[in-house]
Amino acid sequence: MQTKASTEDISSAGMLQARLKANSRATRDFDEWCLRQLPELPMPARVLDLGCGTGKQISLFAPLLSPGSELIGIDLSAEALDSLKANYTAAASLRLIAGDFDQEAAFEGITPGSLDLVYGSYALYYTKDLPALVRRVHELLKPGGVFWVVCPYSGTNDEFLRILRPLHEVEDFMDYVFDRFHQEVIALGEAQGFKSLKPSLLRNQIRFPSAGAFMTYLSNSLFYRPGHDEAITAAVQQVVDQEGVFAVSKNVLSLQLRK
């Protein structure tokens, strides 16, 4: 399931970095939580990141991998991959593929049954064919390998969606991402033959100290539609005046399916 907005906007490294900067205002440490979720891997390990972007997760996990390990990243954005390559310093080798994880060509050179971990963080709901992607991941994993999906969970962004919905249409895609995507992953994983499921939930908040700080975040997100800035700013500022901050829920679900 993919929209025109999603295919264009997520490829912008600048927009991604703006959202990551906003995430630094979170009340709980997302990176620390991710590190706790990282499955135990044999060393050296072979790991594939689907939709790696500028490499936030690769940079987080790479120092934990032994020399001789290999990290493979696939992303549509050559700009993002260039940034990742320029900043990568870990001992594990890095292979970057500029391509679409919906296309078979992106996986050329990756031998079936050769990967210990395939993961996608805030990326896989953009696929046009989730059943095909789950099948491909299952084929690429070794027996005992893990398919790890990190995605938003129900309740995410509720505070500002209550403000946006009366002003303009919010794409059905967003409701799919928050409420239905994880259910499809679980059902498809079971049907494909993954043997076990390990879920974990992080309930987090991003706290914006002002309406201006929130609008910077919103304008770099897929929710932004021009023409409503004044009304949104006023509504957010009212909350800030009453509560001191504008807190936005960010509920994160980790799903680990083992082959």
Query: Which pLDDT tens digit goes with each residue over 181-193?
Result: 999 999 999 999 9
Reply yes or no: is the peptide bond before residue 44 cis, omega within 30 of 0: yes
**What is the predicted pLDDT for the residue at 26?**
60
**DSSP codes joined into one string, 182-195:** HHHHHHHHHHHT--
Domain map (residue ranges) of the chain: 4-160+170-205+252-258
pLDDT band at 10 (very low <50, low <70, confident <90, very high): very low
Share of the chain above pLDDT 70, in %: 90
**What is the predicted pLDDT for the residue at 24?**
52
Residue length of the chain: 259
**What is the predicted pLDDT for the residue at 132?**
98
**What is the predicted pLDDT for the residue at 21?**
55
Q: Is the CB of residue 73 less than 8 Å from the CB of residue 96?
A: yes
The dihedrals phi and psi of 165, each to the nearest 5 degrees, come to -60, -40
pTM: 0.87
The whole-chain average pLDDT of the chain stands at 91
pLDDT band at 25 (very low <50, low <70, confident <90, very high): low
Fold of 4-160+170-205+252-258: Rossmann fold (3.40.50)
Q: Is the CB of residue 216 less than 8 Å from the CB of residue 18?
A: yes
Say if residue 20's pLDDT is above 80.
no
> What is the rounded average pLDDT of the residues 113-129?
98
